[in-house]
Amino acid sequence: MIKLSDRLQMIADEIKKGETVADIGTDHGLLPIFLYESGRCPKVILGDINKGPLEKARENIALHFGADALDDDGNHACGGALALRLGSGLEPVAFGETDAVVIAGMGGILMTEILGLDLNHTKSFKKLILQPRNGSHKLRWWLKQNGFVITAEHLVVERKYICEIITVEPDLVTTDPAAESPAAIVLPEDIPDEALDLEISPLLYERKDPLLVSFIKNKIRIEEKVVGFVSEGSGEGEGHERIAAANKRLAALRAKLALAEEV
């Protein structure tokens, strides 16, 4: 059986046995192959905007299940259980076609654009599993404003990075594909985040995530570097506007760290 990275395995663990899944931006198709091969998912759609990754996924499917598993047109495998779809975002997936959608390895802002293109369509899926490469606080803000509830959060190490995995559900699953889709609330230029709750999820404290302390320490190190760079470049001290803002953020992060160390 195919072995996943810790990041992909944690995403897979958010999917229940018997659920159908669409993997958007599937890359080489390793997650869908695992989900089907392990018997967890009876149907998985592999979607990508580029032909190259889908061709590689097609090769991997043939490697694991045999060339005969692919239909003549190369679009489906294993009797339709694994389907390759070329297209942007959720467009290749029909309204409510799967129980869950996985979008991993993209920027958080790009995710909001994909999810907000047609909210009615996006909310036809019961669950979304999102792994943003960056901009997670902006993604959380967008989700909250547009009627999604974050049900679980996890941290996982991949190479030298700590990745965030966010599982969400729509506040109300839409069932009418003909209904007019409301316009999504778009991201503002600045997102207020005084308490850092959009950046460091309270759910990580609730589940006592073992990587939470390291996650916050990384943020503190980054901010300390910013203070050092600005100080060297400007020749100014605490009164510098950017340094003052960084020190304020550092104080908030250290308070978050103290709380994380307690739990």
Q: What is the pLDDT of residues 147-195, one digit of tens each?
A: 999 999 999 999 999 999 999 999 999 999 999 999 999 998 888 655 6
Cβ contacts of 214 within 8 Å, gap of 6 or more:
162
> What distance separates the 2 farthest-apart alpha carbons in the chain?
69
What integer is the mean pLDDT of 192-221?
91
The pLDDT confidence band at residue 263, using thresholds 50, 70 and 90, is confident
Measured CA distances, 106 to 25, 98, 100, 134 (Å): 8, 21, 17, 8
> Which tokens belong to 164?
């965030």
Angle, nearest 10°, between helix axes 51-65 and 30-37?
Answer: 30
Q: What kind and span of H or E run contains 226?
A: helix 212-234
Measured CA distances, 249 to 211, 227, 254 (Å): 20, 11, 9
Instruction: Give the residues across from 170 on adjacent strands.
Output: 148
> Which tokens belong to 218?
């990384």
What is the overall mean pLDDT for the chain? 90
Name the pTM for this structure: 0.92
Percent share of the chain, pLDDT over 90 = 76
- Give me the pLDDT at residue 71, please: 47
First to last CA, the chain: 37
- Which amino acid, residue 141? W
In angstroms, the CA 37 to CA 176 distance is 33
> Which tokens belong to 128?
């979304």
pLDDT over 70 (residue 96): yes
Does residue 139 sit in helix, strand or coil? helix
Q: Are 101 and 24 in contact (CB under 8 A)?
A: yes
- Which amino acid, residue 147? G
The pLDDT confidence band at residue 74, using thresholds 50, 70 and 90, is very low
CA angle in degrees (0–180, nearest 5) for 178-92-170: 55
